[in-house]
Structure 1
Amino acid sequence: MSSFDEELRLDLQARRVQNRYRQRYNMSTPQAVNVTVDQRAYLAFCNNDYLGLANHPASIVSMQQVAAQYGVGSGASHLVYGHSKIHHRLEKALAAFTDRERALLFSTGYMANLGVISALTGRGDTIYEDRLNHASLIDAGLLSQASVKRYRHNDLHQLESLLSADQAKRKLVVVDGVFSMDGDLAPLPELSALCSKYQAQLMVDDAHGFGVLGKQGGGCAEHFKLTVEQLPILVGTLGKSFGSFGAFVAGSDALIETLIQVARTYIYTTALPPAVAAATSTTLTLLQEESWRRDKLNDVIRYFRQGAKKLGLPLIPLLPSQPMTPIQPILLGDDALVMSVAATLREQSILVGAIRPPTVPEGTARLRITLNVHHDQSDIDKLLDALANAIPATYLKSSMGET
């Protein structure tokens, strides 16, 4: 073994000792409530297909038909003849869906965030980020060469203090719409007002809000009724409620044309396969037309929170005015305990995400429960019983806030 490999091996061993080692498991079924992993059946509470559209027959047919016509891959970047009319149709539909002038497809949400922030900011600019922002937003800020200032989670007073003292030529406030590990919302109307007051631009990554929030599934922008002037840079991912793959940015014609010309993660990467774009167009229609999915999902979330509160599970509190989301973390704080409880649940054929630092701050390790429209009450009851038996009684307490 080389000295380099030995260094890597010791680093990996340290991760194991610290309960920070990550593992993959082999699935042999589609993402769903009931899955098979490593040849064993499980009840799953760990995927982001909130509306159950990833396996919808209509989207599968759309993908098959377009794959037969266009092939498996797009074969080139969007700007070198990899942009098909299937991509164009989806972009127009996403623009209409978000009530923006235009939308632009990216290969992943990570690449969308890196592309937007690096295209719009640089030396002499300042980026303001919530401390609980997604890793892609944090990395994008660090790579942009702009000054990055992080403020306490949803702390409007600290953000205003930072903005009021800043003389940067361009100021960009960047935030998750729904925070991916906590499931709570950013106070977007207040953030938009601060941006207007201090001549800053607001960028929102609404990966976990689209499909779930708003009467038509339009996410945080629809929920808070924010116009393009109030929320000029809107990012969404297609691998969660849309049940597909990829990402998009929606905004003004000037914004989108700038990204086409400047965003390196758009220019220098292969376009999504047309078949994926076709499937997404279908799920976009379903997401808007089948509002019963949001209604049922909200029933599932409410039932879980009510049951969890009765058991004293340590949920994240909700403000009375805040809508529920499918991300329902159980805060335990201790890395080893989180791993132990997740393993105990797995022995009972239940899958949940065990989330530890650096994904979340030190001392906030948690079980990340994600709920799905196809979970029923018996599924939730089984999960709650397993959690109550697996979590030590000293960690059970009354959850503050509304259910």
Structure 2
Amino acid sequence: MSDPRRRGGHAGPGRAGGNFARRKRSTTVGAGSVGVTVADWLAALDRRAELRAKAGLTRRLLPRAAGDAVVDLAGNDYLGLAAHPEVTAAAARALSAYGLGATGSRLVRGSTDAHHALEDALADWLGADRALVFSSGYLANLAAVRALAQPRTLLVSDAHNHASLIDGCRISGAQTVVTPHADVAAVAAALAAAPGRPAVVVTESVFSVDGDLAPLARLHAVAREHGALLLVDDAHALGVTGPAGAGGVAAAGLAGQPDVVVTATLSKALGGAGGVVAGPAEFVRHVIETGRTFIFDTALPPAVAAGVHAAVGLARVGDDLRAELAERAALAVRRLTAAGLTVSEPDGAVVSVTAPGPEAATAWAADCRDRGVAVGCFRPPSTPDSRSRLRLTIGAGVPRRDFERALETIVECAP
């Protein structure tokens, strides 16, 4: 079937609608003779899409029906709490009490009892002075990096950091040095090269690409030696590692340190949505008063905040679930390695499997999907080292029999 955009579009019934669409597409964008037509602009977008398709980088939205039968090794519901009865019941009560949305930003009308109760619970769990909830983990990271970057600040960022941390460094306007992945010596060298300057070491705890754990204790020691702060995105560790699931920072013995700021999403092990920034009370106050992605964003819906609060309580006593995750991750590594595949050694619940290239990764993931197994498909530019991967996220909520069958499917569909 031909693309209607290439025929000038169709704005409504009859000939007039089509003529209107064609007139609009010939409109010049820009001033004078240097402008381009809308048709030129759209054609350029089509050419870019064709180039992405040739490189195996096309991305498509795949709608998921409620209760589908796919074995989920792609979503981030690590502890299986998204549909836990206590979580959904708490969300339902708040939905009835507050309505669908927060109706405003946190500083206007968006702060509810549900938000403040969640923040208190998160601060206690993380061992921080104070916690602040955002509508997404992405926005939390943007706010944290920008708030830490003062005039002359040097940001030292790990090469495998998540896009939200990378974007935070970019929009902060601060000088950023990208160091090789998990290379403490490189971080020390970058800090030593800028004596007397304020600096922040920026890292994930469990990295989202390969599931490996950053050397947080050594990074903190180097940062403290040079008078730098440490910012840790605990998104893939919160609920999965550490005492009572308090995350990678707590596991490294750094919870509550005054020179450590922690961020995390609430959409992974906690099964909800939103993000959090936690740290010294003075820093959180600074974010509230200056953070643009906090001040100007509509608050997280109260029902989600209440559901996540219930999930925090369950996660804190979920040692059996964490043990199951660790056992399944080890099983996945054994089975896939035995089949001749190149597999990461996970420190959390993320296992990556190397694919020959982006097109092979896409086909591999599609074949698995056709056989009832959903897996993540990571390709450049989403990967920091130009390698394509299948990313498996281990979930305790997936029945064990289905999980083992899914591993067999991945092997059978391998290119």
Common fold: TM-score over 0.5: yes
Structure 2 residue corresponding to 1:13, chosen from 41, 47, 50? 50
Structure 2 residue 141 is matched with structure 1 residue 113: yes
Structure 2 residue 260 is matched with structure 1 residue 224: no
User: What is the RMSD computed on CA atoms of the aligned residues?
Assistant: 1.5
CA distance, structure 1, for counterparts of residue 365 and residue 137 of structure 2:
27
Amino acid at match of 2:41: F
Alignment check: 8 A CA contact 1:221 1:231 kept: no
Give the length in aligned residue pairs: 378
Deviations 1:310-347 (A, max 9, x none): 222201246xxxxx311100012411111121122122
CA distance, structure 1, for counterparts of residue 233 and residue 407 of structure 2:
31
Structure 2 residue corresponding to 1:196, chosen from 220, 224, 231? 224
Amino acid at match of 2:303: A
Match for residue 401 of structure 1? none
Mean alpha-carbon deviation: is it higher for 294-303 or for 275-284?
294-303
Q: Quote how far apart the aligned CAs of 1:71 are.
A: 1.1
Structure 2 residue 358 is matched with structure 1 residue 335: yes
Amino acid at match of 2:121: A
Equivalences for 1:132-211 in 2 at 5 Å?
Answer: 132-167=160-195, 169-211=197-239
Structure 1 residue corresponding to 2:414, chosen from 388, 391, 397? 391
Alignment check: 8 A CA contact 1:132 1:153 kept: yes
CA distance, structure 1, for counterparts of residue 206 and residue 259 of structure 2:
15
Alignment check: 8 A CA contact 1:125 1:168 kept: no
CA distance, structure 1, for counterparts of residue 52 and residue 283 of structure 2:
42
Q: Quote how far apart the aligned CAs of 1:266 are.
A: 0.7
Alignment check: 8 A CA contact 1:123 1:145 kept: no
Mean alpha-carbon deviation: is it higher for 114-123 or for 237-246?
114-123
Match for residue 283 of structure 1? 311
CA distance, structure 1, for counterparts of residue 126 and residue 156 of structure 2:
24
Q: Quote how far apart the aligned CAs of 1:362 are.
A: 4.9
Alignment check: 8 A CA contact 1:297 1:326 kept: yes
Alignment check: 8 A CA contact 2:211 2:345 kept: no
Structure 2 residue 374 is matched with structure 1 residue 356: no
CA distance, structure 2, for counterparts of residue 342 and residue 379 of structure 1:
17
Alignment check: 8 A CA contact 2:263 2:278 kept: yes
Q: Quote how far apart the aligned CAs of 1:55 are.
A: 0.3
Structure 2 residue 309 is matched with structure 1 residue 309: no
Deviations 1:177-229 (A, max 9, x none): 11101100110000000011111000000000000002301010221121322
Deviations 1:68-116 (A, max 9, x none): 1111111111111321121111111111111111111111111011111
Q: Quote how far apart the aligned CAs of 1:290 are.
A: 2.9
Structure 2 residue corresponding to 1:60, chosen from 88, 106, 109? 88
Alignment check: 8 A CA contact 2:232 2:249 kept: no
Amino acid at match of 1:391: A
Amino acid at match of 2:273: F
Deviations 1:2-35 (A, max 9, x none): 1111111111111111100101111112xxxxx5
Equivalences for 1:37-52 in 2 at 5 Å?
Answer: 41-52=69-80
Structure 1 residue corresponding to 2:393, chosen from 370, 373, 397? 370
Q: Quote how far apart the aligned CAs of 1:391 are.
A: 2.2
CA distance, structure 2, for counterparts of residue 122 and residue 14 of structure 1:
40
Amino acid at match of 1:4: W
Amino acid at match of 1:24: L
Match for residue 60 of structure 2? 23
Counting aligned pairs with the same residue, the percent is 32
Q: Which has the larger radius of gyration?
A: 2
Structure 2 residue corresponding to 1:124, chosen from 152, 156, 159? 152
Match for residue 395 of structure 1? none
Match for residue 33 of structure 2? none
SS of residue in 2 equivalent to 1:216: helix
Structure 2 residue corresponding to 1:379, chosen from 387, 402, 414? 402
Mean alpha-carbon deviation: is it higher for 302-311 or for 244-253?
302-311
Alignment check: 8 A CA contact 1:303 1:377 kept: no
Match for residue 5 of structure 2? none
Structure 1 residue corresponding to 2:288, chosen from 260, 278, 286? 260
Q: Quote how far apart the aligned CAs of 1:384 are.
A: 2.8
Amino acid at match of 2:134: F
CA distance, structure 2, for counterparts of residue 376 and residue 302 of structure 1:
16
Q: Which runs of 5+ in 1 are unaligned?
A: 30-34, 319-323, 393-403
Alignment check: 8 A CA contact 2:126 2:256 kept: no
Alignment check: 8 A CA contact 1:192 1:230 kept: no
TM-score, L = length of structure 1: 0.90
SS of residue in 2 equivalent to 1:81: helix
Q: Quote how far apart the aligned CAs of 1:257 are.
A: 0.7
SS of residue in 2 equivalent to 1:6: helix
CA distance, structure 1, for counterparts of residue 404 and residue 300 of structure 2:
40
Mean alpha-carbon deviation: is it higher for 231-240 or for 203-212?
231-240
Structure 2 residue 299 is matched with structure 1 residue 271: yes
